[in-house]
Each structure stands twice: as structure tokens, then as C-alpha cells.
Structure 1
Amino acid sequence: MAKIKGSPPEDFAVFYERFHSDSAFQMSRIRFPLQGLIDDGYEEIAWTPENWELMRTRIYQVDTTKFKTKVKKKKKYFEQKLWIEGTSFSSKRRFELLGNRWFLVYAYEGSL
């Protein structure tokens, strides 16, 4: 994606807040077909707009007494991981700056 002339890159913190609070905005910032999948232990299911569960909880608001979290932030990349220790549940989301706007480009959710 090309940058819009004269427009600075979108601020990730502003994007991330809106992504989690505005469902229409969230859907507009997901690139379907989305890389990654849902793995429920029986089958691997591709993400579609129809089966996408809206993300409402920011990684920084996760209950860390239940979940372990890890965040990797770079200039054009943000990755969040979430898992429950001692179980097979894990979740990973990756956002990338494409042109001058942030998008969710990868999602994995597994509970084998």
C-alpha cells in the first residue's frame, strides 16, 4: 500500500484503542482472507468475516492472574500473545503498518 502524500503514519496507540472499541472500524482494518486459523483440536478453520469474534479486550487489560501475555512492538509491527499455562489454549495476533495505516494481518487461536 502506498502512503497518502502528506499524511503521517497512524499512531498505533490511537488505532489500537479504536480497533477494540469500534466494531465497524475493526472489521475495516482486518485483511480477509486473514492469515492464521482457529485450531479447536478437531479441525483447522480459516478466519472469515462471518466467524470473526470481535476483539474487545486490549492485551494490557488481560487478567494476568489467569493468562500469560507477551508483546513485541516495533516501528511497523505489533504482536501480542496470550496463553493459559498448563493448558493448550493460546492466541496470537499481529498488526502491521501498511502504507500509513495499521491492520490486523494474522490471528491464531488454538485450544487443542
Structure 2
Amino acid sequence: MKSCKTFIFSAFCIFFLSCNKNKIEESKPDSQTKNSIESKKKEIAESFDEFNKRFHSDSIFQVSRVDFPIEGKHVSGFEQYNWSRKNWQFQAVPVAEKTEIGEYEHSLVKTDTLVTEKFWIPNSGFEVERQFKLIKNKWFLIYYSDINL
């Protein structure tokens, strides 16, 4: 009788533990589910080309994507100031691989997270530089220097 009770108790324990193990296994996400959850958390980075078009055509969008207080400044003759929302001037010329303006020198350096564009006229005191940075998968203008002496 004692061995029968022990057998029933042992069988019950094995059954109980195997049921709990299945519940634990079911509650654990498999690697495919885990990867799917992680990929949903990671937003897709905004396309610079799409951002560039919208930034230079929509003034409200542009101001929302300038990371004020912005580095760089405006210098024109004796007038000089740092950029703020109040004195910001709409930028209508999009970033381009090449420029058609013959008198200006132009350089463009693009990476996955930073775009730097410069225009200048050698020996003239004119130089414009702007930098766009990918921040939390969205592009922002982080630097704008407009110097015209």
C-alpha cells in the first residue's frame, strides 16, 4: 500500500512538474518572436533625400528640425549674431551632390548619420557651412554658419 501511495505521489509530481515546465516554455518568447519584438522597437531611419526635399520646401517642418540653440552664426559685414527661432531665415536651397553656380566652390560629405555641405568663394570672405545629423532616426540641422565679410 505504501509503495502504491508513493507511486501515485511520484506520478502526480512528475505530471505537475511537466505541466508547469510546458507553461514556462510557452511563456518564453522564441528567438523569432524576440527578434520581431526588437525590430519593432527599432524605428527605420528617415531617408535623408526625403527629409532634404521637405526641409527646404516646408518652413514649419524646417523650424521643427533645426536643433535650437544651433551652433554656427550669421556674419554679414559688421552684423553678427547666433541663430535662434526668432532670427531664423528660411533655407530654400536643398543639399545637392553638385551645384550649378560657377563662382562657388562646393563640398559635400555624407555618412549614414552626418551630412556636411560647404559653399565658399576663395579669398572672398564668403563661406556657408551646414551640418545635418541623424538623431533618434530623424534628421536635424545641427550647425549653420553663414559668413559674408
Normalising by structure 1, we get a TM-score of 0.87
**Map of 2:107 onto structure 1:** 70
1:104 has 2:141 as partner: yes
Structure 2: where are the runs of 5+ without partners?
1-39
**Map of 1:84 onto structure 2:** 121
Higher helix share: 2
Structure 1: where are the runs of 5+ without partners?
none
Task: Give the direction of change, closer, same or farther, for the CA distance of 1:59–1:7 in structure 2 (3 Å limit).
Answer: closer
What amino acid sits opposite 1:5 in the alignment?
K
Equivalent residues in 2 for 1:1-112, closer than 5 Å: 5-60=41-96, 62-112=99-149
| Aligned CA-pair RMSD | 1.7
Q: Hey, what's the Cα distance between the residues in 2 that align with 1:59 and 1:69?
A: 11
Higher strand share: 1
Do the aligned partners of 2:52 and 2:95 also contact (CA within 8 Å) in 1? Answer: no
Q: Percent identity?
A: 33
Larger radius of gyration: 2
What amino acid sits opposite 1:90 in the alignment?
E
Deviation at 1:66, TM superposition (A): 2.5
Q: Hey, what's the Cα distance between the residues in 1 that align with 2:41 and 2:139?
A: 16
